[in-house]
Amino acid sequence: MAHLDADDVALTGGAAIELHLAAAGRPARRAVVGDLDFLARCLKAIPPSVTRDFLVSHYHRARPGVPKAMIQLVDPTTRMRIDIFSDSAGVIPGAQRTTIEGTVLNVLDARSIFDHKVQMLRTVPAMRAESYARFSAGPQVRHLRAPRLRLTTIRPKRPFAPTRRRLYAEGLFAVERPRQPRPLRRALGERTEGSSIF
């Protein structure tokens, strides 16, 4: 929070939900928070100085079909992801000032978080709308039979030897095609040494 003005941002998402549950005397849903979600009045409220302490993992501006601007930061030490969205609904003024571990910040009110979750359930993304419409208009499927699946162990690929890796990076080493198992080679017909089926 050292890079941000506390008046311009508000905590939301799972961490804010956990704070509201704790304030209401309800048990926590999870012991560990994997990421932090914030709303910002605008992305201009995030100064370039954040790049000194965080990696910028993703960034996009608001545009047609994408109503919210967003920047995703990652703390390289803890690997904590911090998603900052633009406050397109204008709900930051209703956030509650809270002190967490000695840091003062705004926490979005529970009603705004709930309303956002309901809106997400009502909204169908444009890219999915056609699929939903076609699927909902079709016959009702009462039961789907799941195929029988067999679990197998996948052997990891053998890494390049250091010399090959260096030569490959310099463009001096062509990757060799793995030899086909004997039965497949018979099915393809015997080849002369050095020939390729590709």
Domains with residue ranges and CATH for the chain: 6-124 (3.30.460)
Whole-number pLDDT of residue 135: 61
Given this model, what pLDDT does residue 149 score?
46
**What DSSP state is assigned to residue 101?**
T
- Rounded Cα distance between 9 and 5, Å, is 7
* Residue ranges, the chain, pLDDT below 70: 1-2, 123-129, 131-198
> In b/e form, how buried is each residue of 57-76, taking b as 16+ CB within 10 angstroms?
eeeeeeeeeeeebbbbbbee
Q: How far apart are the C-alpha atoms of 54 and 47, rounded to whole Å?
A: 12
pTM across the whole model: 0.59
Q: What is the pLDDT of residue 185?
A: 46
Given this model, what pLDDT does residue 11 score? 93
User: Given this model, what pLDDT does residue 1 score?
Assistant: 59
Listed residue (34, 14, 1) closest to 105, CA to CA: 1
Q: Is the C-alpha dihedral spanning 125, 126, 127, 131 positive or negative?
A: positive
Distance CA 168, CA 162 (A): 10
Residue 33: closest CA among 43, 19, 44: 19
pLDDT for 197 equals: 36
